[in-house]
Amino acid sequence: MGTEKNILVIGGDGFCGWPTALHLSKLGHKVTIIDNLSRRWIDQKMGADSLTPLATIEDRLAAWTECSGKTIDFESIDVAREFDRLTAFLTALQPDTIVHFGEQRAAPYSMKGVAEKRYTVDNNISGTHNILAAVIELGLDPHIVHLGTMGVYGYDDDGLEIPEGYLSVFVPVNGQMMVQRDILYPTNPGSVYHMTKSMDQLLFQFYAKNNKLRITDLHQGIVWGTQTEDTKLDERLINRFDYDGDYGTVLNRFLMQAVVGHPLTVHGTGGQTRAFIHIQDTVRCLQLAIENPPARLGTVNILNQMTETHTVRDLAQLVSQVSGAEIAFVDNPRKEAAENDLRVSNETFLGFGLEPTTLAEGLLEETQDIAAKYAHRCIPEMIPCVSVWTADQRPGVLKDAA
């Protein structure tokens, strides 16, 4: 190919990282995964499990070599806590690109209790900072591609189309002349997890300015679906499917609930509008972002990685139409706007040639091939969302007590 890169995928055992590592390997890149397998340990601690049966990382990698003839190397390093091992590893690897998926990514888990809040902040902020500090300390010059979130923008519902990372503001000087500034879009996180992603943005802004690092921050919407072309090749390559109340994301939860006969758990009125992207499009966007590194401008390249927006209520209705499932409107355990509109610019990825997989195309296949096939693995007690945003939302707590 001639453009093969040496790519390090941090968090490459996870839901987005694993199919991305396979896709990049298939394209001919040399791919190495760092992951501390913390996501698997969290499942064990909570008594939860992926709906799909996950092979061990060793079996996953062996299966990939059997199916593709290619090798992906793996190293278990905690990037938040093992700085010296990280720097030694980077010194030996000398990556051209570092893709950073390695964070605690569930909003409800980050709000579960004080231990989970502290873990999420320590893990995500230290991990991101360690990667940046290590790269600078070693004098490396990789393109760093980070998975951020649409949630940093918040859901203010002011009718504006959300731009790609920056907002142009016009500031009056001496009450007359207007000076234009492009500022980071003001963050408005809705959970401790989303707050860590807002803080990541400042770390990137500083090191892009100070050390002229080339950084792409992908503000991704909610990822749905399970399989990609590559993870379908062998059952040992199957991707993770989270459905539990902390890690399951809304559409995948609804698909699983429909096949096990559980009413679809719409929070509040279901008027929350969110951005979505299929997992196959996630891996394609990563490829496009890696193939189009930013110039060394001293600013962070921020791209919105999403393809469609839907309300939670509309998603429930869609799944109900396909499956006949009942819809239940339940108390919302979160603090979020009950109803909001959302318009998002995703023009960069469309300009790079992304052809979105739409919900209408993928929904039925996902329901039949994954949710129905593995429904017998569902642990019903793990379905309810029990993490609440504030103590007064706990079941049984009297509201407005005099």
Question: Residue numbers of the site for ligand NAD (CB under 6 A)?
Answer: 11, 13-17, 34-39, 78-80, 101-105, 123, 127, 147, 149, 220, 222-223, 240, 249
The β-bridge partners of 146 are 100, 217
The β-bridge partners of 217 are 146, 302
Question: For ligand USQ, which stretch binds (CB under 6 A), given 104-112, 157-165, 210-218, 357-365?
Answer: 104-112
Quote the least distance from Cβ 86 to ligand USQ, whole Å.
Answer: 23
How many Å apart are CA 144 and CA 197, to the nearest integer?
15
How many Å apart are CA 222 and CA 243, to the nearest integer?
14
Nearest residue to ligand NAD, by Cβ distance, number only: 14
Is residue 222 part of the contact set for ligand USQ (CB under 6 A)? yes
Report DSSP letters for 204-269, one per residue.
Answer: HHHHHHHH--EEEEEEE-EEE----TTGGG-GGGPPP---STTT--HHHHHHHHHHHTPPEEEETT
How many Å apart are CA 328 and CA 258, to the nearest integer?
12
Alpha carbon separation from 315 to 98, 266, 327, 364, 396 (Å, rounded):
34, 9, 11, 13, 29
Residue 385 interacts, among ligand USQ, ligand NAD, none and using kind-specific CB cut-offs from 5 to 8 Å, with ligand USQ
Is residue 267 part of the contact set for ligand USQ (CB under 6 A)? yes
What sign for the dihedral angle of Cα 367, 372, 375, 381?
positive
Minimum CB distance to ligand NAD smaller for 88 or for 329: 88
Minimum CB distance to ligand USQ smaller for 141 or for 166: 166
Catalytic residue among 32, 52, 149, 249: 149
How many Å apart are CA 225 and CA 223, to the nearest integer?
7
Quote the least distance from Cβ 13 to ligand NAD, whole Å.
Answer: 4
Quote the least distance from Cβ 240 to ligand USQ, whole Å.
Answer: 12
| Ramachandran angles phi, psi of 241, nearest 5° | -130, 100
Quote the least distance from Cβ 224 to ligand NAD, whole Å.
Answer: 8
| Ramachandran angles phi, psi of 387, nearest 5° | -75, 125
Is 32 considered catalytic here?
A: no
Question: For ligand USQ, which stretch binds (CB under 6 A), given 146-154, 350-358, 359-367, 392-400?
Answer: 146-154
Is 149 considered catalytic here?
A: yes
Q: Which residues contact 327 (CB under 8 A, 6 or more apart)?
A: 263, 264, 266, 316, 317, 320
How many Å apart are CA 315 and CA 318, to the nearest integer?
5
Residue 107 interacts, among ligand USQ, ligand NAD, none and using kind-specific CB cut-offs from 5 to 8 Å, with ligand USQ
Quote the least distance from Cβ 8 to ligand NAD, whole Å.
Answer: 11
> Residue from 112, 146, 274, 284 that binds ligand USQ (CB under 6 A)?
274
Residue 334 interacts, among ligand NAD, ligand USQ, none and using kind-specific CB cut-offs from 5 to 8 Å, with ligand USQ
Is residue 265 part of the contact set for ligand USQ (CB under 6 A)? yes
Is 207 considered catalytic here?
A: no
Residue 30 interacts, among ligand NAD, ligand USQ, none and using kind-specific CB cut-offs from 5 to 8 Å, with none
> Residue from 9, 107, 135, 342 that binds ligand USQ (CB under 6 A)?
107
Using alpha carbons, select from 17, 22, 127, 139 the residue that is nearest to residue 82.
127
Quote the least distance from Cβ 249 to ligand NAD, whole Å.
Answer: 5
Amino acid (1-letter code) at residue 223 = V
How many Å apart are CA 23 and CA 169, to the nearest integer?
39
Minimum CB distance to ligand NAD smaller for 11 or for 362: 11
| Per-residue tokens: 45 | 């601690």
Residues annotated as part of the active site: 149, 193, 197
Q: Which residues bind ligand USQ (CB under 6 A)?
A: 105-107, 149-151, 221-222, 249-250, 253, 265-267, 272, 274-275, 312, 332, 334, 336, 385
